[in-house]
Each structure stands twice: as C-alpha cells, then as structure tokens.
Amino acid sequence: MTRRNSPVYTLGELAECLGARLAGDAGRQIVGLATLKEAGPDRVAFLANRAYLKDLADTRAAAVLLHPQHGDACPVARLELDNPYLGYAALSRLFDPLAGREPGGVHPSAVVDPSASLGEGVEVGANAVVEAGVRLGDDVVIGPGAVVGADSVVGAGSRLHANVTVCHGVVVGARAILHSGCVIGGDGFGFAHDGAGWHKIAQLGGVVLGDDVEVGSCSSIDRGALGDTIIGNDVKIDSQVQIAHNVQIGDHSALAGCVGIAGSTRVGKHCMLGGGVGLSGHLTLCDGVQVTGMSLVTNSITEPGVYSSGTGAMKNAQWRKNAVRFKQLDDIAKRLVRLEKGRDA
C-alpha cells in the first residue's frame, strides 16, 4: 500500500453524502470520527444506542450524527438521520484510509502468469503471485504476499489483503474483502479407511463466494469433495472461522470468530452464529436461526429462533461440585421419580 493523506470533508459534504439534515455550519472541516466521549472539535460523533445518551450533553465533537428525536438535546451541530448507525457505517467508509487510493498497478516483484487476465485498475502488491488462468475483475486489489491459485476468478472491486491464499479453481464474487492469512479452497478433510489406515479422497470441488462476502483473518474455507462449498451473497465471516467441505451458507448470514462448521451442513439465510459455535456435519439450519456463543449444535434446526448449549461460568470451586453432579444427573432424575411415586402411593 502506498501512503495517502487522511481525507478531510466539510460537514456539508458529509450531510449530502448521508442524505442527513444538517443543523450547523456546513463549512466546518471534519478529519474523522470518534465516540461522543472522545471526539474533539474536528470530529463527528454519533449516537446510535441509548446507553450513550448520557455522553451527549458533554460532547466536544464538531457535530453529532443522531436520530431527530435527540436533536434538541445536542449541544453542538448535528446531522439528523433515521438510522444513525447506518449513517455511521457510511461515514466510516468515507474516512477509511484504504478507500479512494490510487491503484498501484502491478508491483515489479509480483509474479503474474502471462495467461492471467487483469481488469482495469487492478493492483497486485509486492511479492504477490497470480497463477495461470486467473481472472481478476476491475479494481481488484491483491495485497503483498497474497497468492491467487490457477484458474481462480476474483470479481470486480474485491480486495485480498496481505498474505491471503486463494487456492486453484476458486470463485470469489464482487466486492469481497478477504483478510490477511485467510485461506479459501484448501482441501476438505476426506479420507477412506481400509481397516488399517487412511486413503486420501482428492477434493475435486471448489469454493464459490457470492458478492459482498467478507472473510476474517486466518479463517479457512475448504473446497468441496465433489461439488462446491458455497457461501452466499453478503455473508460476513469473522476471524479464525473454519468452514468444511460442501458447506452452504445462505445470503446475509453472519459468523462470529472461531466458529467451526463440519462438512455438508447447510446454514440458512439471515442466520447469526456467535463466537466459537460448532455445527456438526450434514445438518440443516433453516433461515433466521441464531446460536449463542460456544454452543454445539448436533441436530438440524427447523424453526427460527435463538439456540444455546453449555453451562454458564462460575467459580471453579462451585463448578467442580456441580460438574461432578452432572455425571450423576440421570441417576438423580430417576431417584426423583421414585420419590414422587412413593409420595403418590
């Protein structure tokens, strides 16, 4: 990445960009965003959660992005919008130092196979590798040290950060963001046993990522055994996530850090998996399922809703006693039934 100066906007420009109603000096220069508490007089803050309403009166921000209902309580200039959190998201992208940079072209140290095709405005970073038959859409950025394997396709506007690996025969949709260290298209975990040891099943499928997919640092999405592993549009995947072969994830689902999904499981649309959740293989989760952090799901889920497993944390001394009792739980339940029968007799 080449350096760029931090962007500066006027309040008027920000209001126009957001479609927000501005109450205040449209010419005021803004250099960035901050929380209500930490914003100085050259920054915009936002109020999107009532828990922070207490910080509004004392803010030193140049202006606050908020819902019109809080306009009167705002001691400084304001940008009014019905969904201020969405407005914050839009502003954050304006101030992103990676946005709006001039593309750097293909770095002389990058190795791009002559058979690869590169769209307009493509950047390939230092010591990156683009193998034979790869197609990179317009404005694709391949970070330094990243590798795109033979015959893979990366859609327009996608960014692969430094040291990303996209293996051979993978399809990445448009506007994807793949963070450093993630691996798309490593082999799925497939072996046949002959009674003595393992025989590898070559993983002949690929991975298809839809449009607007994000994959976090050090996450891995394995290629399919025969068919493809399929990630829908607008699916957001955090860091340290493992998605096994032939998994399918529906559009707009979000997977928090350290999630692991075993082979051939299908997750519906608009699902949300909390950090560290595990899904066993060959399950189906319908649309709209939420699973709370570190839960293990071993059966398919056919009704939308929130699901959980595990026990809450407690002091270790207390936990030891209870955990021992857990091993006696079936016995406890049976003894209770006997007592109940005795009472009723």
| Tokens 């809703």 -> residue | 305
Smallest gap, in angstroms, from Cβ of residue 77 to its own copies?
19
State the minimum distance, in angstroms, from the CB of residue 117 to its own copies.
13
Site for its own copies in 86-125 (CB under 8 A): 86, 88-90, 92-93, 95-99, 107, 109, 111, 113, 115, 125
**x/- binding map, residues 272-311, to its own copies, per CB under 8 A?**
---xx-x-x---------xxxxxxxxxx-----xxxxxxx
Closest approach of Cβ 168 to its own copies, in Å? Answer: 6
216 touches its own copies (CB under 8 A) = yes
Planar angle of CA 88, 91, 94, nearest 5 degrees: 155
Is 118 within 8 Å of 100 (Cβ atoms)?
A: no
Which span sits near its own copies by CB under 8 A: 9-17, 56-64, 67-75, 322-330?
Answer: 322-330
Element (H, E) at 193: strand 191-193
Task: Determine if 8 is a binding residue for its own copies (CB under 8 A).
Answer: no
Which of 49, 69, 199, 302 forms a contact with its own copies (CB under 8 A)? 199
Query: Which residues are marked as active site?
Result: 245
The DSSP output letter for 53 is: G
CA 70 to chain centre: 31
Bridge partners of 198, per DSSP, are 193
In this structure, the number of other CB atoms found within 10 A of the CB of residue 52 comes to: 15
Q: Does 260 bind its own copies (CB under 8 A)?
A: yes
What would the two tokens of residue 77 be? 């200039």
Interface residue with its own copies among 103, 106, 180, 287 (CB under 8 A) is 180
Asked if 163 is part of the footprint of its own copies (rule: CB under 8 A), the reply reads: yes
Site for its own copies in 12-71 (CB under 8 A): 32-35, 38
Q: Is 211 in the site for its own copies (CB under 8 A)?
A: no
Question: CB within 8 A of 319, min separation 6: which ones?
Answer: 313
135 binds its own copies (CB under 8 A): no
**Residue 203 Cβ vs its own copies, minimum distance, rounded to whole Å:** 8
Nearest to 226 by CA among 262, 267, 190, 193: 190
Q: Can you state the angle between helices 329-344 and 316-326, rounded to 10 degrees?
A: 70
Strands 9-10 and 29-30: antiparallel
Question: Is residue 345 involved in binding its own copies (CB under 8 A)?
Answer: no
How far apart (Å, rounded) are the C-alpha atoms in residues 328 and 304? 33
Among 220, 229, 248, 264, interactor with its own copies by CB under 8 A = 220
Cβ distance to its own copies smaller for residue 26 or 332? 332
Identity of the residue, 25 or 247, whose beta carbon is nearer to its own copies in the bound complex: 247
Q: Which helix (H) or strand (E) holds 182?
A: none
What values do phi and psi take at 231, rounded to 5? -110, 120
Secondary structure (3-state) at 112: strand
- In the complex with its own copies, the residue whose CB is nearer, 25 or 54, is 54
- The Cβ of residue 38 has, within 10 Å, a number of other Cβ atoms equal to 13
Contact pick of 65, 141, 170, 256 for its own copies (by CB under 8 A): 256
Does 171 bind its own copies (CB under 8 A)? Our answer is no
